[in-house]
Amino acid sequence: MTARDQVRTAWTALRRTDRSRTRHPARLVVAGFGGVMLLGTVLLMLPVAGESGAATSWNLALFTATSAVCVTGLVVVDTHAHWSAFGEGVVLGLIQVGGFGIMTLASLLGLLVTRRLGLRMQRSAQAETKSFGLGEVRRVLVGVVVLSLVVEALTALALTARFAAHYGEPLGRALYLGVFHAVSAFNNAGFALFSDSLMRYATDPWVCLPIVAAFVLGGLGFPVLFEILRHARGRARRWTLHTRITLSTYGALAVLGTIAVTAIEWDNPGTLGRFGFGGKLLAGFFQGMSPRTAGFNSVDTGELHGATLLITNVLMFIGGGSAGTAGGIKVTTFALLAFVMLAEIRGEPNVHIADRKLPREVHRQALTVVLGGVGLIFTATLALLVLTPFSLDAVLFESVSAFGTGLSTGITDELPVAGQLILVVVMFTGRVGPVTLASALALRERLRRYDLPEERPIVG
């Protein structure tokens, strides 16, 4: 083989490698988020980013950058006390980029998957492809940007007016607080500029309710919000299956979570017991809504009853809507598995949801996402139990929170460096993992030209 032939062979192999990479867009999601996370780490390590003027250690900067980009909300330092105005600006920018990236990339991957399936399985997926289609890439990008800015602006306006009029904050400071918490709320980041998160505003509906509205809208996901707007304008005749599942499951979990938390914590002097009737209802509502999306807390999480912590773990693990800024396995995944179980209990060969048949591939994808999340949380919990002296309930709560939302019982800053790095991995995998795993599984779907003899093992 001549030198020219060797060069040509190498170039052909390189082009095949590049094409294989572009066929797996999930890799671009991981690489993009990883790059932004590393850039944020470098910026937060600069002396100008710290309030004291000293450089921040790499592990603290990495943890904060990961939490911001993955819009998780776990912190190892007080955001307002440790970071300077520049540092807080970096955190705010990472939150905005992370939330925008999650909504955009997840929406585009969902669009890619549905169009791919629409071409390969016309009978089962073509109708859903038409109803779920979000238009061209440019339309998705513009839609996410406009939606994000509008919701954040309205939330910031409401919070600014409250901070300035009722709490006597100067207009500039009130505007800063309003913008920061509006961006943090819509992107479900859970970062606050107060050492007690939002506990000081637990009974103030003019602060709590705008924040709840923002993180619920962000947590529902862009495809659902886009369809709601289309339906309101009369451009959509019926809801898609995805939107119906998301809205119904999200609403049911919101009601059940609020009732459970409020009932259990009603007389707890460390949480709701110190408030009046109206304050208990508001704080219970906020604390019941926050675990699945935002990561804010209006009561001391460390004072919650064990039963409430368990309920919160479940809500954090489930999370919010697909292609939204909330974490978790997503409410659609949870609902789909519930319907699969119901069909199996009834002895039905197929799963039907709202006059639609659920493809069997979706069963396996949902099961893979859930078991992958369980395995990640189990591994992280086991490692933290070995490395730290904390109890199982506190460590489990921390692991689930890193995977989903960002609430904490107060042990995050007491973890050793190895423990914090474990949570960094969980935050990154928990936020990027479900969407990339689900899309990769869907795009890898292929027909098998032969099958093996069937044999049924004993189950149960």
Q: Mean per-residue pLDDT for 156-170?
A: 95
How many CB atoms are closer than 10 A to CB 267?
10
String of DSSP letters for 50-102 = BTTSSPPPHHHHHHHHHHHHTT----SS-HHHHB-HHHHHHHHHHHHHHHHHH
338-to-245, 350, 435 alpha-carbon distances in Å: 11, 13, 20
Q: Mean per-residue pLDDT for 111-134?
A: 42
Bridge partners of residue 357, in order along the sequence? 352
How many CB atoms are closer than 10 A to CB 147?
18
Residue 11 pLDDT exceeds 50: no
Residue 386 pLDDT exceeds 80: yes
Which among 289, 274, 270 has a CA at the least distance from the CA of 410?
Answer: 270
pLDDT digits (tens, 9 = 90+) for 63-100: 999 999 988 888 999 998 999 999 999 999 999 988 88
Q: How far is CA 296 from the centre of its chain?
A: 13
Residue 21 pLDDT exceeds 60: no
Provide the percentage of residues in the chain whose pLDDT is more than 90: 52
Provide the percentage of residues in the chain whose pLDDT is more than 70: 82
What is the structure's pLDDT at 15? Answer: 47
Higher pLDDT, 441 or 349: 349
Q: Mean per-residue pLDDT for 238-243?
A: 86
Label residue 448 by pLDDT band (50, 70, 90): low
Label residue 137 by pLDDT band (50, 70, 90): low
How many CB atoms are closer than 10 A to CB 274?
14
Determine the Cα–Cα distance for residues 338 and 243; give it in Å rounded to an integer: 17
Computed over every residue of the chain, the mean pLDDT equals: 84
